[in-house]
Amino acid sequence: MTETSLRSYDPRTGQAFGASIPVTPEDEGDRIVLRAAAAGEGWAAAPHTERGRALRAIADAIDADTQTLVGVADAETALGVPRLSGEVARTTGQLRMFADFVSQHRHLDMIIDEGEPGSARPDVRRMLIPIGPVAVYAASNFPFAFSTLGGDTASALAAGCPVVVKAHEAHPATTAATLAVARAALRDAGFDPDVLNAVYGFESGKQLIQHAAVKAAGFTGSLAGGRALFNLATQRPAPIPFFGEFGSVNPVIVLPGAAADNAAGIADGYAQSLTLGTGQFCTNPGLMFIPEGGALISEIERAISASAGGPMLTDRMRQAYGSNMHDREREGVYTVATGTAQAGAWSVTPRVWTASLQDFAAGHERLASEVFGPAGLIVGYPDVDALHAVLSGGVLEGTGVLEGSLTATIHAVEADYPAAARLLPLLRARAGRLIFNGWPTGVAVVWAMHHGGPWPATNSAAHTSVGVRAIDRWLVPVAFQNWPEDLLPAELRRGNPLEVPRISQS
Amino acid sequence: MTETSLRSYDPRTGQAFGASIPVTPEDEGDRIVLRAAAAGEGWAAAPHTERGRALRAIADAIDADTQTLVGVADAETALGVPRLSGEVARTTGQLRMFADFVSQHRHLDMIIDEGEPGSARPDVRRMLIPIGPVAVYAASNFPFAFSTLGGDTASALAAGCPVVVKAHEAHPATTAATLAVARAALRDAGFDPDVLNAVYGFESGKQLIQHAAVKAAGFTGSLAGGRALFNLATQRPAPIPFFGEFGSVNPVIVLPGAAADNAAGIADGYAQSLTLGTGQFCTNPGLMFIPEGGALISEIERAISASAGGPMLTDRMRQAYGSNMHDREREGVYTVATGTAQAGAWSVTPRVWTASLQDFAAGHERLASEVFGPAGLIVGYPDVDALHAVLSGGVLEGTGVLEGSLTATIHAVEADYPAAARLLPLLRARAGRLIFNGWPTGVAVVWAMHHGGPWPATNSAAHTSVGVRAIDRWLVPVAFQNWPEDLLPAELRRGNPLEVPRISQS
């Protein structure tokens, strides 16, 4: 039976509620993409400052409606009002960051080579232009910041691309509510609201990635779902770039000095990061290496025992978590501690296991993969030499024990610096963001942020979904050779009337 | 039967000559990649100025050996000593361009967000680092500039990546000779020569793209061969980025004023560009739109009739050209002129056809694709309105008559500027480089050059294989969060001791 409508579910009760949301029929999905493509022409042609103004208008409208939107999202996700309110602020902050960036013409990566009169050397002027309509696959775990108006959408709109969002089944009503506010703001700002739209339902997502008018796609979600869409994107008659972010284990290494110096603080920070949002973060610290012996393992036992679970976003995720728990028990790992269970149909309980470095090395293909939820593996290492040997084995051959991750973290005191310096090159080749004496959850929305990493953290290690460089995914270069001033786009003209940042060979 | 050795062939006679070159066995291919990966560690860690020095040493050594290398290449390709000597100069110029670029630390795309003491805002420092071992598939038609030491190799080495080249069957001895000079220069400069090596034979190319230690690949060649490698790259257990450049039809539009003003000059330029290097350029002007009536078509007839053919690079290409000639004759196009045949086993004859705009629009799926060699289609248009209508049809839907091209060209006089301005947005969405009153062959090696375009010109419209941005393909970001000064790479330190170009949010 083909699904014809979606329902909102309350993760606290497991019950459906509210109005059903129709799945987008195929012909309507086609029309939505074509209307977005048509609206995108004017959007791409608008001055960057005008696009910036429209993005700020959307941000203002979302801010004004925060309370309503957070109510809808909390009912669908059980993530709680404080977290969701913060996420809305992050989302609108992100829209304004991209508005600023493009208003300063900083996304154009302009290079000018002036021709030499009387020589054969041509005048070549290169800048970036929008790639065309973008498909954005909303994430389950961030109903605002990686969803309808999240970083993918904000950066694509800022780049000058129209966007069609595939709503996530975990929060379709949140998508519909956010979309209504954003489209009204676009209309009020004088733009065609069809530059932003959404489709609903599993099949509509497959249709979207294969539509001839769609020129690129962004995705945040599971490796299995992302890989399926990546395969569709690359197997099209005309392949399109696909930017998938799939989450990771985010290794943390606690060096001996830090473990001795601050066992309780590290254990508390770990438990908080591991269980934040019921562990439903792609930056969740799923794998931690600590020195064998010492107080840290018992401090972790204390901190995790005091932690609390909560409801997962979907029943499917709850079931997957339970199945992962079951698998791990058979893999020779030992439970360090479990947290407190909580009431609620889809609630899960935090759990931390431990394994020796030797057992981890032998079983890394099963043990070093992500468990989505508040669960972590602690690996005890006898000394830094042994840890370095295990982590560096097979790295050159592309078969190391650590897969690509979004982040890698080191906890160190000054006495640990030589060990940190030795481990750093191994981590740098395996993760997109390296954190010192902190925790991977909580990705700051700043220009320099990199949220990406080698496979399987993403399928494109060169790209990020957070920070200003997220806009690069939706831009392609064009070079103008020997064009007369009158026909050049304003950005490329001699004298630089728009004051665009440029570099030059000469 | 599995091939075990390659031979050099003389395109002027079709005969094999010289020593046979062994095909790389599978175990040796594996060792070559692993040795490259190991050598790449030191290469990546070397200061950019040191890598720049090594690239300049390679360029100097190649320049010193130009005469010998050109002799080997001319015997294998019949491209002629003048053209090949110029290509060597271009190749070494390119090595020096990338040496300059990285010596100035310009490839790092650095963004710094300083933390605010006492606030939760972290200190985040982002820069680019080498992606790892790169596979480079040499092109048939540029035995130097897009081959062993071509733009892919030069940019990857400059980025800090080791390179394994898959030699092209059209000039294996040229690859071996170039490689020997470059490896000796690397050794003399104090580097491990294994950062650059090559494999030979069809199967070794398939092995290379699937090797777990290979992290990215560059390719210049046919759409069929490139698509096959793209599929292997994306279907790996851990997919890698593949940057393929497949050639294109490179549409040229002659506007009415230009046609009336300069018919003879345009016809001469066209014939020269179409037949240069026996038409074996990815930027060959395979499709030209001219106003119906007027003197231009008879001037083209004159110029093409006076043009000369020559030998193709391989017998397979000669056969494909003949087969394309045969197919076109059955497709309702009319021959305008043929050039002079030339002696030689693999020689082909230039040929130009014409079709009406209406027939072209109806048959574009067959008529608008590339013919590799000195052959072109001239489409006569009644007026600019009609041309605009045909070229804009289906563009939004992703089904337009023009596929993606590396270049698009307009010939115009001032009276044509309004028409040029109207056509420009259509061309900009379909080509990576827009040329005014010139010809697409002859890609200037300057910082701003963009040599890329939408599918099927390339599989990644965001990237270029010429110009400084070619280096972007081999770099990935890493962000350092809250690291102490002593552990930061020199590039990222406070006070900017290396004077790296940086941008910043604050």
Tell me if ipTM is over 0.95: yes
Please give the DSSP secondary-structure letter assigned to residue B340.
B
pLDDT tens string A264-273:
999 999 999 9
pLDDT (mean) for A154-175 = 98
Q: Which residue of A has its CA nearest to B162?
A: A396
pLDDT bucket at A368, cuts 50 / 70 / 90: confident
Chain A contact probe: residue of B235, B478, B480 with most A CBs at under 10 A: B478
Strand B347-348 with B310-311, pairing: antiparallel
Q: B462 CB near a chain A CB, below 8 Å?
A: yes
CATH class of A26-246+462-492: alpha beta
The domain B252-436 belongs to what CATH superfamily? Aldehyde Dehydrogenase; Chain A, domain 2 (3.40.309.10)
In this structure, are residues B204 and B192 in contact, taking their beta carbons and an 8 Å threshold? no
pLDDT at A288 over 90: yes
Note down pLDDT in tens along chain B; length 506 residues: 567 999 999 999 999 999 999 999 999 999 999 999 999 999 999 999 999 999 999 999 999 999 999 999 999 999 999 999 999 999 999 999 999 999 999 999 999 999 887 778 899 999 999 999 999 999 999 999 999 999 999 999 999 999 999 999 999 999 999 999 999 999 999 999 999 999 999 999 999 999 999 999 999 999 999 999 999 999 999 999 999 999 899 999 999 999 999 999 999 999 999 999 999 999 999 999 999 999 999 999 999 999 999 999 999 999 999 999 888 877 878 999 999 988 889 999 999 999 999 999 999 888 888 899 999 999 999 999 999 999 998 888 888 999 999 999 999 999 999 999 999 999 999 999 999 999 999 899 999 999 999 999 999 999 999 999 999 999 999 999 999 999 999 999 998 999 999 998 86
- Could you give the strand order of the β-sheet that contains B351-356, starting from the edge strand earlier in sequence? A502-504, A110-113, A124-130, A475-481, B431-436, B405-411, B252-254, B287-291, B375-381, B351-356, B334-338
Distance between CA atoms of residues B24 and B6, nearest Å: 10
**Number of cross-chain residue pairs from A and B with Cβ atoms under 8 Å apart:** 233
Distances (CA, A) of B338 to B281, B330, B341: 19, 17, 9
In this structure, are residues B286 and B377 in contact, taking their beta carbons and an 8 Å threshold? yes
Q: What is the pLDDT of residue A506?
A: 64
Q: Check A446 against B230: CB less than 8 A apart.
A: no
Q: What is the pLDDT of residue A369?
A: 84
Higher pLDDT, B409 or A3: B409
Classify residue A16 as exposed, middle or buried by CB count within 10 Å of its CB (0-12, 13-18, 19+).
exposed
pLDDT (mean) for A135-147 = 97
Q: What is the pLDDT of residue A222?
A: 94
In this structure, are residues A78 and A311 in contact, taking their beta carbons and an 8 Å threshold? yes
- Cβ neighbours of B34 in A, within 8 Å: 396-397
Q: What is the pLDDT of residue A395?
A: 86
Is residue A282 part of the annotated active site? The answer reads yes
pLDDT at A377 over 70: yes
Q: CB neighbours of A186 closer than 8 A, spacing ≥ 6?
A: A54, A57, A58, A192, A193, A195, A196
- Cβ neighbours of B490 in A, within 8 Å: none
Tracing tokens 């074996």 back to the chain, one arrives at B280
- Cβ neighbours of B231 in A, within 8 Å: 234-235
Q: What is the pLDDT of residue B398?
A: 83
Distances (CA, A) of A80 to A42, A170, A271, B445: 39, 15, 19, 56
Q: What is the pLDDT of residue A365?
A: 85
Distance between CA atoms of residues B76 and B73, nearest Å: 5
Q: Out of B467, B476, B487, name the one closest to residue A421 (CB).
A: B487
Q: What is the pLDDT of residue B331?
A: 81
Mean pLDDT of chain A: 95
Neighbours of B472 (CB within 10 A): 21
Q: Check B448 against A131: CB less than 8 A apart.
A: no
Shortest distance, CA B20 to any CA of chain A (angstroms): 31
Tracing tokens 């009431």 back to the chain, one arrives at A343
Query: What's the CATH code, domain B26-115+122-246+463-490?
Result: 3.40.605.10
Q: What is the pLDDT of residue B177?
A: 98
Cis peptide before A374 (omega within 30 of 0): no
Is residue A245 part of the annotated active site? The answer reads yes
Q: Out of A124, A437, A477, name the one closest to residue B452 (CB).
A: A477
Cis peptide before A497 (omega within 30 of 0): no
Classify residue A23 as exposed, middle or buried by CB count within 10 Å of its CB (0-12, 13-18, 19+).
buried
Catalytic-role residue among B245, B299, B403, B491: B245
pLDDT bucket at A370, cuts 50 / 70 / 90: confident
Q: B86 CB near a chain A CB, below 8 Å?
A: no
Q: What is the pLDDT of residue A116?
A: 81
pTM of structure: 0.97
pLDDT (mean) for A26-53 = 97
pLDDT at A62 over 80: yes
User: CATH 3.40.605.10 residue ranges in chain B?
Assistant: 26-115+122-246+463-490
- Cβ neighbours of A505 in B, within 8 Å: 446-448, 468
Q: What is the pLDDT of residue A2?
A: 67
User: CATH 3.40.309.10 residue ranges in chain B?
Assistant: 252-436
Q: What percent of chain A has pLDDT over 90?
A: 90
Element (H, E) at A224: helix A223-235
Q: Check A448 against B106: CB less than 8 A apart.
A: no
Distance between CA atoms of residues B253 and B407, nearest Å: 11
